[in-house]
């Protein structure tokens, strides 16, 4: 079955990026966090309700709700009412002229804003009053903080202490409270569960939430509308599998290729094994901080089995080469995790054709690290 384009409502213009809040206090995990600055609610945007769901073979989550393609289409309408579409930028790789989807140009620098908005916009009034908790290395954190500020919802984000400072600062500047944990050593899900229990807040999972998955899938609806047809294949940077799952629902006739860091291919191995596979304790270091969850979740596994191509991995050197390529050819700054899909394409690890779309998923790069990556390329010439 091919994915037919879904008309998007004309956007009145991108919402203005908020003026940052002062730096809030940061709490260490396990400690009582000091209150974050009061979030100033901005005008609400109309949000269509998700369509009724039907079973798709996954274990029920979030009160029995499961993500559906109808939900993805509803999410796409909501996102189109709020954000201008990110562009499809043409590029030539290996003699093939194809497309890249510049999600790095979202207000928070990544596609994560899509799922965060759709999830928070669908919270019941009682849930909004309780506030939200999210776990993230930085991009989902910013998406949740951005959406929470606009909806007047208090947000606390559990983040690793070693997350890139640019992501810590950006999340705090959006008014969220930060709760830091140490990796390795502390389990982020346990830290989040403790905070949820203490605060009574709603957990907004980065990739295993049905609304978040539908929101991420809105990018696929947008791509089909921009192309005027379904893409033949989507090459996707993959952490826990939320974006890949959403895109597989949005464009069921498109081949979806997940790209993970070498040694951290927990999604591809789980799909191949038909069971959750955890990253080994001796997994190699990777510069792709956004793509290193310990494992995917049952919901994502159920959605991805039979819907994606065999996964591929990329090395740090291949990722750095992709960052340099994007800067030179597309004039875009990509963080390492946001360049993984492009790295796989440049390394010849995925098939390419004219209707291929490569997802450029994140641009929250540390300035010093990015400068070193560019300098390494200059030294090699």
Residues 44-59 have pLDDT tens digits of: 333 333 333 333 233 3
**Mean pLDDT along residues 144-153:** 98
| DSSP string covering 56-106 | -SS--BTTTB---HHHHHHHHHHHHHHSPPPPEEEEEETTEEEEEEEGGGS
100-124 pLDDT, tens digit each: 999 999 999 999 999 999 999 999 9
**Mean pLDDT along residues 131-140:** 95
| DSSP string covering 12-52 | --PPPPPPPPPPPPEEETTSPPPPPPPP-PPPP---PPPPP
Residue 314 parent element (H or E): strand 312-314
- What count of other Cβ atoms lies within 10 Å of the Cβ of residue 223? 26
| Cβ atoms 259, 312 nearer than 8 A | yes
> What is the distance, to the nearest Å, from the Cα of residue 17 to the centroid of all Cα atoms in its chain?
19
**Measured CA angle at 234 (ends 344, 257), to 5 deg:** 55
* Domain 26-40+112-204 fold: Rossmann fold (3.40.50)
Rounded to an integer, what distance in angstroms lies between the CA atom of residue 190 and that of residue 216? Answer: 25
- Residue 102 has phi, psi (to 5 degrees) of -85, 70
Rounded to an integer, what distance in angstroms lies between the CA atom of residue 269 and that of residue 125? Answer: 39
| Cβ atoms 314, 292 nearer than 8 A | no
74-105 pLDDT, tens digit each: 999 999 999 999 999 999 999 999 999 999 99
Burial 43-67 (b: 16+ CB within 10 A, else e): eeeebeebeebeeeebeebbeebbb
Rounded to an integer, what distance in angstroms lies between the CA atom of residue 315 and that of residue 288? Answer: 10
Rounded to an integer, what distance in angstroms lies between the CA atom of residue 334 and that of residue 364? Answer: 7
Query: What CATH architecture does domain 69-111+210-380 belong to?
Result: 3-Layer(aba) Sandwich (3.40)
Boundaries of CATH 3.40.50.1100 in the chain?
A: 26-40+112-204, 69-111+210-380
Rounded to an integer, what distance in angstroms lies between the CA atom of residue 79 and that of residue 356? Answer: 23
**Residue closest to 11 by CA, chosen among 218, 252, 230, 236:** 218
Beta bridge partners of 28: 180
| Cβ atoms 262, 286 nearer than 8 A | yes
277-293 pLDDT, tens digit each: 999 999 999 999 999 99
- Whether omega for the bond prior to residue 29 falls within 30 degrees of 0, making it cis, is no
15 pLDDT exceeds 90?
no
Rounded to an integer, what distance in angstroms lies between the CA atom of residue 306 and that of residue 119? Answer: 26
What is the average pLDDT score of the chain? 87
157-186 pLDDT, tens digit each: 999 999 999 999 999 999 999 999 998 778
- Residue 36 has phi, psi (to 5 degrees) of -85, 165
- Residue 328 has phi, psi (to 5 degrees) of -75, -40
**Residue closest to 213 by CA, chosen among 369, 317, 70:** 70
Note the pTM of the prediction, 2 decimals.
0.84
Sheet holding 233-237, edge to edge: 88-93, 96-102, 356-360, 233-237, 255-261, 312-314
């Amino acid at each position: 079955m091919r994915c037919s384009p879904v008309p998007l409502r004309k956007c009145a213009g991108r919402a203005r990026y908020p003026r940052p809040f002062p730096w809030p206090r940061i709490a260490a995990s396990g400690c009582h966090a000091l209150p974050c600055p009061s979030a100033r609610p901005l005008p609400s945007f109309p949000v269509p309700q998700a369509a009724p769901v039907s079973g798709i073979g996954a274990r029920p989550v979030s009160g029995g709700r499961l993500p559906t393609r109808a939900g993805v289409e509803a999410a796409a309408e909501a996102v189109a009412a709020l954000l201008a579409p990110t562009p499809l930028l043409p590029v030539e790789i290996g003699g093939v002229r194809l497309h890249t989807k510049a999600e790095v140009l979202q207000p928070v620098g990544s596609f994560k804003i899509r799922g965060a908005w759709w999830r928070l916009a669908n919270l019941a009034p009682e849930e909004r009053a309780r506030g939200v908790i999210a776990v993230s290395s930085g991009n989902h954190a910013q998406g949740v903080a951005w959406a929470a500020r606009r909806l007047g919802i208090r947000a606390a984000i559990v983040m690793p202490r070693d997350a890139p400072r640019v992501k810590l600062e950006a999340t705090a500047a959006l008014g969220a409270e930060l709760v830091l944990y140490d990796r390795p050593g502390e389990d982020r899900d346990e830290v989040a569960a403790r905070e949820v229990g203490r605060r009574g807040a709603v957990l907004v999972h980065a990739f295993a939430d049905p609304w978040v998955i539908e929101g991420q899938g809105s990018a696929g609806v947008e791509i089909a509308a921009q192309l005027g047809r379904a893409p033949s294949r989507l090459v996707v940077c993959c952490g826990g599998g939320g974006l890949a799952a959403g895109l597989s629902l949005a464009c069921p006739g498109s081949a979806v290729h997940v790209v993970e860091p070498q040694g951290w291919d927990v999604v591809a191995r789980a799909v191949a094994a038909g069971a959750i596979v955890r990253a080994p304790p001796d997994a190699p270091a990777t510069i792709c901080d956004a793509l290193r969850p310990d494992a995917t979740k049952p919901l994502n596994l159920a959605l991805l089995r039979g819907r994606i191509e065999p996964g591929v991995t990329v090395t740090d050197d291949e990722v750095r080469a992709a960052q340099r390529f994007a800067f030179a050819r597309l004039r875009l700054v990509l963080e390492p995790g946001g360049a993984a899909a492009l790295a796989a394409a440049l390394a010849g690890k995925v098939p390419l054709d004219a209707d291929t779309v490569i997802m450029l998923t994140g641009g929250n790069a540390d300035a010093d690290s990015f400068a070193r990556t560019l300098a390494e390329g200059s030294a090699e010439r």
